Structure 1
């Protein structure tokens, strides 16, 4: 039998589970733990309507507490698997495995996680993939370790060999490397034919240095969903307008322009005067649904309509995410999808 070449699946392809980590008082959520727990409960409720959750917990006490909270909110616990593992924080988009698929086998790409360029302690998060594999979470998976800093939120694939990312983020992670060198690593480790770079776009309150999953996302049928800004008086307007122009200039492998779906711009959300990164682009695609970060804004419903148009046939479920953006991330940032057959 011929061995299949590994491929990086798009997020909208079939999944076996979503990987999460329960927030605790030992993480950065301590100050507002009660609020963020409500978001996690709502998120697990939404996911388990459609598929399984693999939920990391720090110890037995955390597992007992998390299970109690989820059961009391009528979560289908048959679809929740607990795994005890140490973690520094709960941003599993960036510390979890970036998975390639080769038929019934999988490659777990384990890149270096540096706490977004050394901003935060990340020693346990950097070993998360190794420890989860040691506990048998993943089936038929080969773990490949790369001495290269990369976060899952910094890359976006269409599942057909095209990667979308931002130069600002990757250049800061690798200041000594030329663009061609970084691109060569991305192409080889992630089985990509080409890399599309965005030069513009960054949100206030985002300490990931312009992760692509806060800005622009591939969607089925050669489409891109992106965070637009229609308020000329907003400080983000010039950069996001420039990003929209860049996206309009991108071409598919067939030479056609992408179908663009601009997301509405919510009103500024401030915390003690600090602008928070409320992006609708930070949504999660799961089996038969799109989970959308909702911010209690009048434009939440408009954003849901855009996502329904970009992902036809999927339910759009709004998850309240104001507590998440207090820590500079949103719904997509705390999740990592596991392709069908992996978990």
Structure 2
């Protein structure tokens, strides 16, 4: 078994990948039998679960659908796009003149909401073939209805929309936004989320870590014990705070304003990140993303963050918030993290009104899953 750094090539050959600050380089060496791909590994496509009048978006449906159209347009320029919706004909009318329809696939399915990151399948690669792991999504610790969303993955596999071995993991509650994989056997997560009593409260930290290691074939789990965003419903999902950009690089949210309510917690998170080590024992290259200036809705602070970006194979889509200086600085940091990628900003002010952002509404699938 070789050291895993990546993916099987589309032609079926097994390759290891050497990662260098976001760039992927292939080498003909052996690959580990089972691994949880990093987001930058070769993808077949991206899932969006479309907002409709039966969701919490009803009061601002036109505004949020416009945001989804912009996301869909950028994804479909490069990759296949799977749209999950109970109203495929209506969505086709919304996107037909703005999105590359040759790259769009539909799954007609009833849904509660739009957070594909958390109700979508988490894909493992097993001997070069995808396995679609279906964990329970319980509305971020029983906060919101999720019964319909929790059936999407099984329905997609049964309809042949997602290709791969279906693996029932419904005995464990896990959202895609709560974990980050480097593709080499390291998982990054937060204690606040995974140790929430309304998720897997029957298990302690050691038991949860052992479960994650067993299921995802991990060598280490890095637990962030600090960091939060006001208005966040997810109990501090890792994808709002700190993200792998390569096997040795982490981009994270930095707060410099000592008067900001987040300063102490995010500073403690920053200090803890400095103590983390790669599997080879080296400190991570840490890149600080700016804090989004305070955005409120009806007096409530919203959890706007630049960490909620989506890595495609040739581009990084990142959320912007009509804050020119901060939006530009975030793009510069992401370009440093991903020098070979195009960095594309998408206005996500609509998304944060329901306390999420760009990464939260998307789920990537490795090669062979969407066809």
TM-score bracket, shorter-length normalisation: over 0.9
What is aligned with 1:107?
Answer: 131
Q: CA RMSD of the aligned region, Å? A: 1.4
2:244 partner SS: strand
Question: Please, which of 342, 346, 353 is the counterpart of residue 315 of structure 1?
Answer: 342
Contact 1:12 1:287 in 2 (8 A): yes
Alignment coverage as a number of residue pairs: 338
Describe the SS at the equivalent of 1:137: coil
What corresponds to 1:151 in structure 2? 175
CA contact (8 A) 2:157 2:166 kept: no
Gaps of 5+ in 2: 1-29
Paired with 1:131 and 1:64, the residues of 2 have a C-alpha distance of 19
- The two structures have a TM-score, normalised by structure 2, of 0.89
Which of 106, 123, 126 aligns to 1:82? It is 106
Cα distance in 2, alignment partners of residues 272 and 320 from structure 1: 20
Partner Cα separation in structure 1 for residue 359 and residue 292 of structure 2: 17
- SS of match in other structure, 2:346: strand
2:162 is aligned with 1:138: yes
SS in 2 for 1:133: helix
SS in 2 for 1:108: strand
- The aligned counterpart of 2:283 is 257
Of residues 12, 18, 23 in structure 1, which corresponds to 2:51?
23
Stretches of 4+ moved more than 3 A in 1? none
Deviates more, 1:168-177 or 1:11-20: 168-177
Aligned ranges 1:1-16 → 2 under 5 Å: 5-16=33-44
Do 1:6 and 1:106's aligned partners in 2 also have CA atoms closer than 8 Å? no
Q: Which residue of 1 aligns with 2:3?
A: none
Q: 1:4 offset after TM fit, Å?
A: 6.5
Q: Is the 2:180–2:239 Cα contact (8 Å) retained in structure 1?
A: yes
Confirm or deny that 1:44 pairs with 2:72. Answer: yes
In structure 2, what is the Cα distance between the partners aligned to 1:247 and 1:3? 29
2:32 & 2:174 partners in 1: Cα distance?
Answer: 25
TM value normalised by structure 1: 0.96
Query: CA 1:316 to 1:166, structure 2 compared with 1: closer, same or farther past 3 Å?
Result: same
Note if 1:225 corresponds to 2:251.
yes
What is the SS of the residue equivalent to 2:307? coil
Structure 2 matches for 1:88-99, cutoff 5 A?
Answer: 88-99=112-123
SS of residue paired to 1:156: strand
User: What's the secondary structure of 1:66's corresponding residue?
Assistant: helix
Q: Which residue of 2 aligns with 1:64?
A: 89
After the TM superposition, which residues 331-342 of structure 1 pair with which residues of structure 2 at under 5 Å, given as runs?
331-342=358-369
Decide whether aligned partners of structure 1 residues 323 and 254 sit closer, same or farther in structure 2, where only a CA change above 3 A counts.
same
In structure 2, the residue matched to 1:197 is 223
Alpha-carbon distance in structure 1 between the residues aligned to 2:313 and 2:79: 7
Partners of 1:285 and 1:116 in 2: CA distance: 23
Q: CA deviation at 1:280?
A: 0.2
Q: Conserved in 2, the CA contact under 8 Å of 1:6 and 1:107?
A: no
TM-superposed CA distance for 1:103, in Å, is: 3.7
Q: Give the conservation status (yes or no) of the 8 Å contact 1:107–1:144.
A: no
Give the match's secondary structure for 1:251. Answer: coil
- In the alignment, the residues of structure 2 paired with residue 211 and residue 19 of structure 1 have an alpha-carbon distance, to the nearest angstrom, of 19
**C-alpha distance in 1 between matches for 2:164 and 2:301:** 44
- Shift in Å, 1:140: 3.5
1:242 to 268, 281, 286: 268
- Cross-structure match for 1:286: 312
Counterpart for residue 326 of structure 1: 353
The Cα shift of 1:321 comes to 0.2
